Amino acid sequence: MALKLGATVKLNFKNVEAMTRINDAVLAATQDVFAEIQFTAAERSPVLDKATSERFPGENRDSIRCNVRQTKQGAKARLTTHSGFGGFLELGTVKTPAQPYLWPALEEHIGKIPEAVQAALNEG
Tens digit of each residue's pLDDT (9 = 90 or more) over 58-107 = 999 999 999 999 998 889 999 999 999 999 999 999 999 999 999 999 99
Cα–Cα distance list, 75 to 69, 86, 109 (Å): 6, 24, 16
Q: Does some domain include residue 102?
A: yes
Contacts with 68 (C-beta within 8 Å, 6 or more apart), sequence order: 27, 30, 31, 34, 75, 76, 77, 78
pLDDT confidence of residue 10? 54
pLDDT confidence of residue 1? 44
pLDDT confidence of residue 55? 87
Number of domains, the chain: 1
Q: Does some domain include residue 3?
A: no
Q: Does some domain include residue 5?
A: no
The angle that helices 13-44 and 102-109 make with each other, rounded to 10 degrees, is 140
With a cut of 80, say whether residue 123 has pLDDT above it: yes
Q: Does some domain include residue 53?
A: yes
Q: Does some domain include residue 70?
A: yes
Q: Does some domain include residue 6?
A: no
Domain of 61 in residue numbering reads as: 13-123
pTM over 0.85: no
* Residue pair 86/60 in contact by the 8 Å Cβ criterion: yes
Q: Does some domain include residue 1?
A: no
Q: Which residues pair with 124 in a beta bridge?
A: none
Q: Does some domain include residue 2?
A: no
The percentage of the chain sitting over the pLDDT mark of 90, rounded to a whole number, equals: 71
Distance, CA of 111 to CA of 69 (rounded, Å): 19
- Higher per-residue pLDDT: 25 or 17: 25
